[in-house]
Structure 1
Amino acid sequence: MELARLLLIPVVWVLAAAAAARSPGCATRCGNIDVPYPFGLDPQCAIHDGFQLNCSTVGRDTKLFHGTLEVIRFSVHDGKAWLKTFISRQCYDQATSDMSYNNAWVNISNLPYVLSASDNKVIVVGCKSLAYMWSDSYIIGCKSTCDKPLKNGSSCSTGNAGCCQADLPTGVRYYQGFFNELYNTTEIWRKTPCNYVTVMESAAFSFSTAYLTSTVFYDTDDSRTPVVMEWGITRQTCEQARINKTSYACVSDHSDCVNNDAGYRCRCSDGFEGNPYTMDGCTDINECLDNVTYPCAGICKNTPGNFTCSCPRGRSMINGVCASVGLVALVICITCAYLIRERRKLHRIKQRYFRQHGGLLLFEEMKSQQGVAFKIFSEEELQQATNKFDAQQVLGHGGQGTVYKGILKSGIEIAVKRCMTIDEQQKKGFGKEMLILSQINHKNIVKLLGCCLEVEVPMLVYEFIPNGTLFDLIHRNHSQHNSLNTRLRIAYESAEALAYLHSCASPPILHGDVKSTNILLDGDYTAKVSDFGASILAPNDKSQFVTVVQGTCGYLDPEYMQTYELTDKSDVYSFGVVLLELLTRKKALNLEGPEDDRSLSMRFLYAMKENKLEDILDDEIKNNENIEYLEEIADLARQCLEMSGMNRPSMKEVADKLGRLRKIVQHPWAHENPEELDSLLGEPSMVNSTGTTGNFSIAKKAAMGLESGR
């Protein structure tokens, strides 16, 4: 498989002291592109190394590059840059009578950018294509077919007119495009030879039927598409950056600091324009020179950051007063009428969204089912609770949305999930599904308190869990010792929660995104499985399966990637990866390591095959006394990671086995007393043919159902 790699030049972010302006004599233009500060074409011309660009001659053209990415333009005001990235393609090769692949990847981890989630989309083009964007955290993709007549400018949202699109998660700094090889153009190559996937600016994409019948979408001279990047001066918040006055970048008077996914950036205050990164760079806007944007019927007087408009001189006082009063009255009437109309319009929009998401059905069901602890929140309530969804209230970002901490008027702490999108299929039954999810009552599942339906994309309201995530406990808090007992308890509690969703909920619920960041820890460090509100009810037929593939890299079931069908065994696979994290204290995906070691599950399976399990176990829990228990847990994880879902245990079986293991680990004296061990496991003593008690390890394995062949 051919791999078109974008290798970017590593940079070290070291801010120059008091970098208030670029040095004299610095070039400010490359070809026809302006290069604004903080960017520069030489080290002394940029605010720091991460903003240094290269101006190069390519053929007859002069082009601007950041690393190997071509830069198209900048916007200092918006803190954005437009660059070109490569397209991944899957084409039929007549010479080999087989498919050929060119999977491009982009790594901007060492540059001051993140891909803008609001401006870009994952675009898939083709008549028989299932393609993905594999980011540093998520796998997102969709299926494109040509089931309906194709038209230029067709919408990509349906996926059946030659293209489809998926939303981009926030904070992406790395991605690679790749294809499901079961979907290809082998049988249709004469009409549609290729499939494509790329991340690009959604506003720049316009579908053309020529993209399917030729290679025009992948032009050999410039096979790249525009993508919007947001930049940050450093990966600090505004509060952190202000502490160091010598390196703080917002040096102009009348400038403000803004937090974004890339870190922090600067902008001129309202009423000012220019460059906030240079001394006196933000200058006053003279509104009086722009009567279109800032209309004034009288005498316009410019003021710093604003302007005033007064009556023309020479008119009589009475006429002036009458005219002024009349004008004011007219303005007040027009304003009131406008506000009333807009309020009614907003109310109608909210009512439409409420009905669209099944709010009326949900409300009626809640009235008929007395005692349902579920609330339909208004948008205003959640705005107040989260301080208008202030960035300081953000608890975390995910592939489907952002979670904010909030406090209701009653003083109850909540977590509000603001989702990015919802497909048409989910909209129809959203209210009914919310009622089903609200009735889940399990000590190891985060309680869904309610939802807000009067917005375009519904918001979910959960109970607030204070001690962060399992991911933080394992990977970020290295100073805290986590015993095998603690880890096994968390694994058991999480498995119990998932088993409840699969087996006890009616109808069964598939989580769909099991990972250590979705397992929260309360005040007593009890595990609480979260984010099941983004799950789906177990479908009754294949027509109900989702049409957009998404999940978290390192946890996603490989069978799901092939069959396009989410099952309860998909959750089992993902839980197996969580078990590995608890055993090894290693991340599910490590992009900084060697290619063979990036996937924890692949590394683990190789270690098991080579009898080198001890090499990857966490030293904190590994010793001669408990190695046998660790091997049992590892074997359970191996079963969860079977490639075929049919060969994996159910979550109920996983929870039962973890529960039995907990009893053994909690009572090490069972080594010396097999009868006590049997009572813990709920199994009869195992006695050999001579009447003596059999080997402890074999007896234990048999009692737990973990001996190979069972």
Structure 2
Amino acid sequence: MAEATVVFQIIVLLGSMNGFVKAVGLVNSSCSRSCGNVSIPYPFGIEPGCYLSNSYQIYCDHSFSPPKPMFLNLTEMEVLDISLDGTLRVNYPSVVFSQSRNRFIAMGCNNFASLKDAEEVVICGCMSICNNIPSAMNGSNSCNGINCCQTTIPLDLQDFSLSLQPIDPKHDTDNLSCKFAFIVEQKWFETNLTNPFEILNMSHAPVVLEWLIDARLSSLVTGNNLSYVLDDNSTYRCDNHSSSLGYLNSTLTCSCKPGIEGNPYLPDPQRCTGVSTCLGLLFLLIGGWWSYKVIMKRKNIKRKEKFFKRNGGLLLQQQLSSGEANVEKTKLFNSKDLEKATDHFNVNRILGQGGQGTVYKGMLVDGKIVAVKKSKVIDEEKQLEEFINEVVILSQINHRNVVKLLGCCLETEVPLLVYEFIPNGTLSQYLHVQNEEFPLTWDMRLRISTEVVGALFYLHSVASLPIYHRDIKSTNILLDDKYRAKIADFRTSRSIAIDQTHLTTVVQGTFGYLDPEYFQSSQFTEKSDVYSFGVVLVELLIGEKAISSTRTPESKSLATYFIHAMEENNLLDIIDAQVMKDSKREEIMAVANLAKMCLNLSGKKRPTMKEVAMQLEAIQSLQTTPNVQQNYEEVEYVRSEMYEQWDVISTSTMSDAHPLLCF
């Protein structure tokens, strides 16, 4: 898309005055000092003789109800407010000017917007990336770089050109009408819009301009005051009770001296003096500020208490005090510390997003790098139970191949979980996204599978209470800095009594990994985790996703695809090229036979995690046993039963990245 440039020539207030009149005698009882709901203080005015010069003339348009003041020297823009601090607010169609009180805003997907000076040099700009979900910003007035960006404007901005370009022209499918840029008053933009895109339906938006008195020729000293000679040889100076804030580029501003309040541009009789009044006001302001701080502190404490209860703090305390969890290792973090750690949850810190929330990279005050999971708003009792469950479950686990929970924060609107930081992403990314710079070798795949099954064996048989993970999949297996496996996401995990053999629950899990026996009976056993791990083993062998629409409808499920290849004796035809390159045929067949046993439709015929761990360790260490290569017990599959059961899973339209049921 070609670059689109729109040029705006703006002289920031009063750049070309031809003359001024003297300030003395201007204040007149017949002068109107308001138009509609807007106050018009001197040096601005409506009637002749009531303003400092023609450049300060305001036209009161009575065709509106109430009347609207118009600033004639800026193309009849509506004046919203005039302040004696040297600024005024106007409604301006698209762009303009106080650096501290305006922002440059750009909207659109794949958009780079910039302002350039007269020499076409970029003086400021920002970029917004794409989010194709139209409602992504509904209910939020953030403008943080996704479909909308903002930045400050330069000092003394006058002449400029506006440029809109795609960040990546190759992927820019939007036409230019979908991209916008403008300058707008920052406070108005942040407080009056629930959604930044509302501004696109408006014909005008307020900006803040800075105004100064133009003194073009020279200056002279009269007594103790500095006076300025104007273009018409008359003079103007700040009064005895005011002083000049500066004389820059032939411009003058006045400000009341300490202890004086009122209009600094008017003679002394028009002002009110009074140090005592100012001191009284000062004490009143200090007292009001202190009272405000006390009230806000109490309000903040009550607000945190409310969030703590709503986010399950009382339930968590009850669970932790029961002795089932490791209280010492479950830290309650302060919300301010986590905001600082994540740079106020900056979008640039996002590590990943899912159905349950967003994970941010953070650094604690002691320099430790962590992952902070910001949950979605908990609005159902089931979601609250899952959040508390994950905290309690992870508080019981201490294993090198399980992601460690460092603590949580419940005093915010949504609960926050703090984990150790795992830098190298998920196993799924390395299996399903081509990475020629770092291929996943056969030795690494064997080691990762051994580490995962070792952690699952620990959960099933070594933990103080047996724990079923209930959502084993390649996206829940993370890789640390040494590419060691770490099992994550214990949201749906459950502890069971030692004498229990199963859990009867509403079916939850992920298509492609879900145990068909559990799907039909709603009874989850330790062998259900074995089945899910079997799918992960097949992923490591074949390198394809658990559910894929690119395969034939009857082989949409990877488990079905794999079993069918085993039955037809053509397994080696579908093995991942990297595996074929690195491994021996005997090793492939040993792992394939083990995966086949894990995928048995009958949970009773599947091996335990301990048995799977022993077989994998034997394969990894090349300590072959009669059971490792060929002499596994042959499993009888009734074809009609196998395909009927697996088709329940494979015909689903959901992908492997989405849970079966969410509560």
Instruction: Give the TM-score of the pair, scaled to structure 2.
Output: 0.54
Q: How many pairs were matched up?
A: 437
Partner of 1:17 in structure 2?
2
Deviation for aligned residue 1:561 = 3.1
Partner of 1:383 in structure 2?
339
Partner of 1:508 in structure 2?
466
Amino acid at match of 1:17: A
2:349–2:362 Cα contact (<8 Å) kept: yes
CA deviation profile, 1:187-220 (whole Å, cap 9, x unmatched): xxxxxxxxxxxxxxxx9xxxxxxxxxxxxxxxxx
Partner of 1:394 in structure 2?
350
Deviation for aligned residue 1:629 = 2.3
Partner of 1:467 in structure 2?
424
Question: Is it true that 1:252 corresponds to 2:181 in the alignment?
Answer: yes
Question: Is it true that 1:573 corresponds to 2:531 in the alignment?
Answer: yes
Partner of 2:589 in structure 1?
631
Amino acid at match of 2:2: A
Partner of 1:58 in structure 2?
none
Amino acid at match of 1:504: V
Question: Is it true that 1:358 corresponds to 2:315 in the alignment?
Answer: yes
What secondary structure sits across from 1:253 in the alignment? strand
User: Aligned equivalents of 2:435 and 2:192: distance in 1?
Assistant: 47
Partner of 2:50 in structure 1?
none
Distance 1:19 1:654, change over 3 A: farther
Amino acid at match of 1:583: L
Question: Is it true that 1:340 corresponds to 2:297 in the alignment?
Answer: yes
CA deviation profile, 1:372-400 (whole Å, cap 9, x unmatched): 43422222222222222222111112232
506-515 or 328-337, which deviates more = 328-337
2:538–2:592 Cα contact (<8 Å) kept: yes
Deviation for aligned residue 1:497 = 0.9
1:444–1:527 Cα contact (<8 Å) kept: yes
Partner of 1:529 in structure 2?
487
CA deviation profile, 1:595-646 (whole Å, cap 9, x unmatched): 4453322222222232221232112222697223222222222222233333
2:326–2:395 Cα contact (<8 Å) kept: no
Deviation for aligned residue 1:707 = 4.9
What secondary structure sits across from 2:601 in the alignment? coil
User: Aligned equivalents of 1:238 and 1:542: distance in 2?
Assistant: 57
What secondary structure sits across from 1:579 in the alignment? helix
Deviation for aligned residue 1:365 = 6.6
Residues 605-620 of structure 1 aligned to structure 2 (within 5 Å): 605-620=563-578
Deviation for aligned residue 1:17 = 3.5
Deviation for aligned residue 1:363 = 6.3
Amino acid at match of 1:396: G
398-407 or 618-627, which deviates more = 618-627
Partner of 2:397 in structure 1?
440
CA deviation profile, 1:546-591 (whole Å, cap 9, x unmatched): 55x5433322333333333433223222212211211111122224
User: Aligned equivalents of 2:145 and 2:552: distance in 1?
Assistant: 29
User: Aligned equivalents of 1:236 and 1:584: distance in 2?
Assistant: 42
Amino acid at match of 2:363: I
What secondary structure sits across from 1:555 in the alignment? coil
CA deviation profile, 1:498-537 (whole Å, cap 9, x unmatched): 1111111121112122111211112222211122355222
What secondary structure sits across from 2:424 in the alignment? coil
Question: Is it true that 1:489 corresponds to 2:444 in the alignment?
Answer: no
Match of 1:409 among 365, 372, 375: 365
User: Aligned equivalents of 2:413 and 2:200: distance in 1?
Assistant: 42
Amino acid at match of 2:589: E
Amino acid at match of 1:317: C
Amino acid at match of 1:469: T
1:437–1:533 Cα contact (<8 Å) kept: no
Partner of 2:160 in structure 1?
none
Distance 1:624 1:521, change over 3 A: closer
Deviation for aligned residue 1:495 = 1.0
Distance 1:238 1:628, change over 3 A: farther
Match of 1:317 among 272, 294, 302: 272
1:467–1:525 Cα contact (<8 Å) kept: yes
Distance 1:503 1:337, change over 3 A: same
What secondary structure sits across from 2:352 in the alignment? strand
Distance 1:468 1:426, change over 3 A: closer
What secondary structure sits across from 1:520 in the alignment? strand
2:106–2:180 Cα contact (<8 Å) kept: no
User: Aligned equivalents of 2:199 and 2:380: distance in 1?
Assistant: 45
Distance 1:618 1:503, change over 3 A: same
What secondary structure sits across from 1:590 in the alignment? coil
Amino acid at match of 1:389: F
Distance 1:388 1:659, change over 3 A: same
Partner of 2:29 in structure 1?
none
Partner of 1:642 in structure 2?
600
Partner of 2:478 in structure 1?
520
Partner of 1:159 in structure 2?
none
User: Aligned equivalents of 1:317 and 1:235: distance in 2?
Assistant: 51
Distance 1:445 1:236, change over 3 A: farther
Partner of 1:654 in structure 2?
612
Amino acid at match of 1:284: A
2:107–2:148 Cα contact (<8 Å) kept: no
Give the fraction of aligned pairs with identical amino acids, expressed as a percent: 36
Question: Is it true that 1:498 corresponds to 2:456 in the alignment?
Answer: yes
Deviation for aligned residue 1:254 = 2.9
Max radius of gyration: which structure? 2
CA deviation profile, 1:10-46 (whole Å, cap 9, x unmatched): xxxxxx434789xxxxxxxxxxxxxxxxxxxxxxxxx
Partner of 1:32 in structure 2?
none
CA deviation profile, 1:156-186 (whole Å, cap 9, x unmatched): xxxxxxxxxxxxxxxxxxxxxxxxxxxxxxx
What secondary structure sits across from 1:406 in the alignment? strand
Partner of 1:564 in structure 2?
522
User: Aligned equivalents of 2:134 and 2:588: distance in 1?
Assistant: 41
Partner of 1:177 in structure 2?
none
